[in-house]
Structure 1
Amino acid sequence: MTDSTDDQQDRIDAEAAEWVIRLGGGKLTPEEKRAFATWRLASSLHEAAFQRASSLWSDLDVGSREKKARHRRTATHVTSAGIAGLFVLGLGIGTGWVEPGRWLADYTTPVGEIRTVHLADGSMAVMDSHTALSVRYTASERRIVLIGGEAYFTVAPVTVDERRPFVVESAGGTSTALGTEFMVAREGAGVDTTVTEHSVRVATRDVGTLHRSVIVEEGQSVHYGRDGTLGTPVSVPAASMTAWRNGQLVFDNATLSDVIGRLNHYRRGRIMLMSSGLGARRVSGVFSCTDTDGAVTAITRQLALRSVSVGGLATVIY
């Protein structure tokens, strides 16, 4: 039986990663040198994979250079050049997303922290890692602006004494509570609203005019974009999606790419795949938000993969 093209490429990429790691770990024995030369010459695919792995390893090896550079820069230069350099490298370490609105937010969480905020009207917001909220309560409404990240809201209901609607605004759209509990998550220019109790009216705007609205029922989620596009509500495993409130990440047959994206939300360093083909592999499990290294260990064991960390900046799965 022969490997499929993707399986063959994954195997070659894994072998290339092992050779790069072994070469970086010290001198090879004469036998290892011969084995490496034989492997490298066996196929042009081997050579190409080795060059890719070497390039990635070189890009990741920035720790010592950054430390030396820090001694030669002022604090201002460190901040600006450091952020710019990390984004150029595509590692996404440090603060993750940088948005001026975050600086003026009423409530923020750093990477890795989950925080509960008690609002003036008796409502609560559980803020996920690296989230920013602004509170804009007026005489006519209770408005929360989600600048970035995600938050789970338990809303104090409308009563005789509290008639103002509860509205969460993000990326040009709004989610108005018609019940008591829901989550709003902003990823880039897109927003997802997930309802766990009763319902929510989600509306988008096009050039300042109400464009479209839908009612999202309990157990459903809907996505909208900054351009005013609004999807159709779909049934989702809401309990699993909001398990982060209790410090857990729950995955059921999720792609490895999606799992890694979620884990990266809780760490300053970055988890990366040596081969893009690995991203389609499927993962199931319950992991801790505060132990992403443990999650990597469990995932690599589950999928029979390996991982290596580089100076605390990145973890490469291969």
Structure 2
Amino acid sequence: MSHRETGAIGQFEETAQRTGQTSRQAIDQAIVQQAARWMARLWSDDVSAADTAACAHWRQQHPEHERAWQRLQSMEQKFSAMPDPAARHALKSAPEKIMLTRRKSLQMLGLALAAGGSTQLIRRSDTWRLLSSDYASAVGEIRNLSLPDGTQVVLNTNSAIDIDYTSSERRILLRAGEILVSTAPDNAAQYRPLSVHARDGGIRALGTRFVVRQQDQQTSVAVLQDAVEIRPRQHPDQLIRLDAGQRLDFSAALSGPIETLGENTASWSRGVLVAEQMPIQAFIDELGRYRPGILRCAPEIADMKVSGVFSLRDTDRSLQNLTLGLPLQLSYRTRYWVTVLPR
């Protein structure tokens, strides 16, 4: 971890300790996340009176809701009171990096601290990875990047990467989420291989186009063109080759069987979700990655199948379309808490 990251964590831990936050009982993670989503909504430019009223209603529903809200508010106020130089130091600053907005940074740090208030929690969280990375995408954002060598990278929703190009290699560090990589030939005098390094191991490109997705328990690789070589982190001597049309799930220690790649693996890069006899539960889980708040379905319809093409850029429209061809209905507790029910 860099001195910058350590300094930022230290400053916020010191603030939390002075206010007694680290000694407080931890709040349920789902409640903290919902409080952070409400705060982000109220910070947005198009916030409405209905949003404000709905947030107030949510806070009144349970004492833990209000406690999570007040803890995030406290962290935001502490940060706002910091002198500008200290605030700039607490957030990673470099002209060549794409930075998150100050308020979004506050939201993410507040979320991590409110959930537990410990350095280890912040260091392990995707929140911190998104905050301190070179490039990141927000929830629902699909972001296209062109790297210095011409390699194209598409960041899926809620994803983050670091770039490490040296005289001997080109490395992309996947810190969270999912990316689509289209490699470009290296024009440097000395050939530099291009690789993606995920939590569970390294993926070396062999002149290729491929997708890497980092999940809770494993990393998934899908090859769309040419081939890649995979080395699991705990078994660097083990080399697994994937060719075009193949996919693999692997952890740091184990790898699953090589499988045939579905035709629509990278359809997300075009902003669409292509469902082919997909269980409703799997559909809801996938669509939920692209929208803030809570999205769930009733257990009795979880295994119902859906087929079609759905927008990832307008998830509300996709939910409405889901009810057009199936006997389903939507229940909105708020704009950000939706349940799919049988009709």
- Give the TM-score normalised by structure 2: 0.64
Q: Which structure has the larger Rg over C-alpha atoms?
A: 1
Q: Could you tell me which of 243, 246, 255 is aligned with 1:217?
A: 243
- Kept in 1: contact 2:167–2:190 (CA 8 A): no
Larger RCO of the pair (alpha carbons < 8 Å, separation 6+): 1
- Kept in 2: contact 1:212–1:230 (CA 8 A): no
Q: Could you tell me which of 249, 257, 262 is aligned with 1:237?
A: 262
For residues 300 and 187 of structure 1, the distance between their equivalents in structure 2, rounded to whole angstroms, comes to: 29
Q: Could you tell me which of 286, 309, 317 is aligned with 1:294?
A: 317
- Please give the residue correspondences for 1:31-110 in structure 2 after superposition, counting only pairs within 5 Å: 62=58, 64-65=60-61, 70=69, 74-76=73-75, 83=111, 98-110=126-138
Q: Could you tell me which of 196, 221, 233 is aligned with 1:193?
A: 221
The residue that corresponds to 1:21 in the other structure is none
1:217 alignment partner AA: D
1:117 alignment partner AA: L
Give deviations 1:161-212, integer Å, cap 9, x for gaps: 3511110011131111012211111111311111111111111021xx5152
For residues 81 and 179 of structure 1, the distance between their equivalents in structure 2, rounded to whole angstroms, comes to: 38
- Kept in 1: contact 2:75–2:110 (CA 8 A): no
For residues 239 and 175 of structure 2, the distance between their equivalents in structure 1, rounded to whole angstroms, comes to: 21
User: Any idea what SS the aligned residue of 1:229 has?
Assistant: coil
Structure 1 regions of 5+ residues with no counterpart? 1-60, 89-96
Give deviations 1:45-82, integer Å, cap 9, x for gaps: xxxxxxxxxxxxxxxx7355558985797441795998
1:123 alignment partner AA: T
1:184 alignment partner AA: V
- Kept in 1: contact 2:72–2:114 (CA 8 A): no
- Kept in 1: contact 2:149–2:187 (CA 8 A): no
User: Any idea what SS the aligned residue of 1:210 has?
Assistant: coil
User: Any idea what SS the aligned residue of 2:130 has?
Assistant: helix
For residues 84 and 99 of structure 1, the distance between their equivalents in structure 2, rounded to whole angstroms, comes to: 7
The residue that corresponds to 2:41 in the other structure is none
- Kept in 2: contact 1:256–1:280 (CA 8 A): yes
User: Any idea what SS the aligned residue of 2:207 has?
Assistant: coil
- Kept in 2: contact 1:63–1:311 (CA 8 A): no
| Deviation of 1:148 (Å) | 0.8
- Kept in 2: contact 1:63–1:313 (CA 8 A): no
1:234 alignment partner AA: E
Question: CA 1:74–1:258 in 2, change beyond 3 Å: closer, same or farther?
Answer: closer
The residue that corresponds to 2:145 in the other structure is 117
| Deviation of 1:285 (Å) | 0.6
Pairing 1:309–2:332 present: yes
User: Any idea what SS the aligned residue of 2:283 has?
Assistant: helix
User: Any idea what SS the aligned residue of 1:203 has?
Assistant: strand
Pairing 1:130–2:129 present: no
The residue that corresponds to 1:57 in the other structure is none
Structure 2 regions of 5+ residues with no counterpart? 1-56, 78-106, 117-124
Which 4+ stretches in 1 moved above 2 angstroms? 61-75, 77-88, 97-103, 157-162, 300-303
Question: CA 1:81–1:184 in 2, change beyond 3 Å: closer, same or farther?
Answer: closer
Count of residue pairs brought into register by the alignment: 245
- Give the TM-score normalised by structure 1: 0.69
2:272 alignment partner AA: Q
Instruction: Report the RMSD for the aligned CA atoms in angstroms.
Output: 2.9
